[in-house]
A = this chain, B = another copy of it.
């Protein structure tokens, strides 16, 4: 059994890690930490877990974390940077769900996150935890930087086009919409039911922190710099990200459907829909899967790709466990094959 600890367990990625790990056959949960809720039963805060987990939140105790095989960070940015070095030195594997180690250029990170990086020396050690791109590196990693939720859906959506060099790299557009859970579980007027439900809006149009992360990874896929216009929107739904991607085809003869089906034929967690099918976010609710549909409207020069995930699963906690499975030599799908909930 893998001994797992979770730092920062009171947010939505925390409860989602617990929901998935509670039924993972190879995992034992050693500790889940929270300064604010220390001593409180997890099932008291998250009533879905009543009867499934007999565990209390505890203070983050380095001694105890050090005895884990792997520590997940489900914390706001900045926290992992301060705690990772000690764990790293002691050989504990680290899977960071926050943004702390995603961006290789320290200056870029500091600019977008508005604070000095607390652990620049380990950034180059971190492996970007998108298995469909970095599977081999993940297997041997010691520190994994899990992708953000928007990046997961957008990178998987663009990957075949960019890897094959089929589109204009300076004119990529990602029009994406996220569920409210993407904004986290913090108290906030903007995220009240009364403010969000029955409405829709764009936000962060001038610049969203996931942009530099995406341009870094897209450039790596393309083998050249890219320009991405990224406009995120807020959906009145609980879970789900829907990315609608636009790219200008260099060659109008490409068969998008065949390209995507072939590219992802062996991926357990990427599902290319049949031609003329488009994914709906509820079809991945609660599951670690990215579903993709492709189109070329009016047979013109624009490729349109629709890519969806559950932001809390393939966009966060499920993908983190997928990474853990790779790290520990388990089948990649272990504990991650429950069907989505529909309706």
Residues of A within 8 A of B (CB): 12, 15, 19, 22-23, 46-52, 171, 173, 175, 177, 179-181, 185-189, 191-203, 205-207, 211, 227, 229-231, 233, 235-240, 242, 244, 246, 248, 271, 273, 276, 278-287, 289, 291, 293, 295, 297-298, 300, 302, 304, 306, 312, 337-343
Q: What chain B residues lie within 8 Å of A23 (beta carbons)?
A: 337-339
Chain B residues near A337: list those with CB within 8 A.
Answer: 23, 52
B244 touches A175 (CB 8 A): yes
Question: Which single member of B187, B202, B342 contacts A47 (CB below 8 Å)?
Answer: B342
Query: Which residues from chain B contact A46 at a C-beta distance below 8 Å?
Result: 342
Number of copies of this chain that the complex holds: 4
CB < 8 Å neighbour of A199 from B188, B240, B273, B295: B240
Chain B residues whose C-beta falls within 8 Å of the C-beta of A201 in the assembled complex: 242, 278-281, 306
* Contacting pair B343 A341 (CB below 8 A): no
Residue contact A343 to B181, C-beta cutoff 8 Å: yes
Residue from B51, B175, B341 within 8 A of A271 (CB atoms): B51
Picked from B186, B206, B229, the residue with its CB within 8 Å of the CB of A246 is B229
A44 to chain B, nearest CB (A): 8
CA distance A158 to B107 in the complex (A): 37
Q: Which of A189, A280, A300 is the most central at the interface, judged by chain B CB atoms within 10 Å of its CB? A: A280
Output the least CB separation between A188 and chain B (Å): 5
A48–B342 touching, CB < 8 Å = yes
